[in-house]
Amino acid sequence: MINHHPNTSILVDFVAGVLPASISIMIASHMDFCRQCRQQVQVLTEQAAALEFEPLADSLSQSSQTDNFDIDHAMSMIEAITEFDIDTQVSLPQTVTEIAIGKLRIPLPRAIKSVALKEWQGLGKLSRARLDVQDDERRMSLLYIAPGGSVPCHTHQGFEITLLLQGSFEDEMGQYHQGDFIWLDGKHTHQPVTTAGCVCLTVSSDAIRFTQGMSQLLNPIGKFIY
């Protein structure tokens, strides 16, 4: 069961199309898993379309009373036009529809199937592959943490969005499962640990900062994850 969702103001921005590309992809990917957010986006899209449409409907009804104006038909036309189609937003030559870890095949969200995936790099139990999304300083990656792996205790200089694609992990704030959308920033300090292993889609706007022990020794991990 999904317990962590994007908040309503992010979904409003998603519908309005004003989010940076990488964050839009994260929302669309979460919606692959989450019926609740799909329904909320549907409602928000209808509301936004109705607001856009109201003045037009008024002027049309004043100018031509005899027109049999079908607002439902118009609404469905607008929906068809404004329907979110991430596939047309990012079109890069290489497509990856699933990743393989051992015998496990993990399907990727539709929103990243047309984004080029760079090669995997490993550091201990962590493996990371960047996604080729040009979005200023924000970096998008697939992160695999092998069973028993963890990321040392850290906080965030920018923000970090994690979408859990497969497996589970836990930290000081709780347990996370497939589909959970977790947005953390400098207000949060945590040490994610996974017993069974997990695959996440992440967006980070800056490097993480380790908070315990000889943190400078951990900097390579921080750079690796960002």
- In the complex with Zn ion, the residue whose CB is nearer, 178 or 219, is 178
How far apart CA 166 and CA 95 sit, in angstroms, is 20
Q: Cα-flanking dihedrals φ and ψ of residue 50, to 5°?
A: -65, -40
CB of 221 to Zn ion, least distance (A): 30
CB of 57 to Zn ion, least distance (A): 32
Binding site for Zn ion (CB under 5 A): 5, 34, 36-37
- In the complex with Zn ion, the residue whose CB is nearer, 11 or 21, is 11
Q: Give me 220's structure tokens.
A: 């390579």
- In the complex with Zn ion, the residue whose CB is nearer, 37 or 142, is 37
CB of 42 to Zn ion, least distance (A): 13
- In the complex with Zn ion, the residue whose CB is nearer, 2 or 126, is 2
The DSSP bridge partners found for residue 162 are 182, 202
195 Cβ partners below 8 Å, 6+ apart?
147, 148, 168
CB of 84 to Zn ion, least distance (A): 15
- In the complex with Zn ion, the residue whose CB is nearer, 128 or 160, is 160
Strand pairing category for 160-167 and 198-204: antiparallel
Q: Give me 120's structure tokens.
A: 């995997």
Mapped onto helix, strand or coil, the DSSP state of residue 8 is helix
CB of 176 to Zn ion, least distance (A): 13
How far apart CA 122 and CA 144 sit, in angstroms, is 9
Task: Decide: 145 and 151 in contact? Cβ < 8 Å.
Answer: yes
What is the biggest distance separating any 2 CA atoms in the chain, rounded to whole angstroms? 78
- In the complex with Zn ion, the residue whose CB is nearer, 28 or 142, is 28
Cβ-based neighbour number of residue 84 at 10 Å: 17
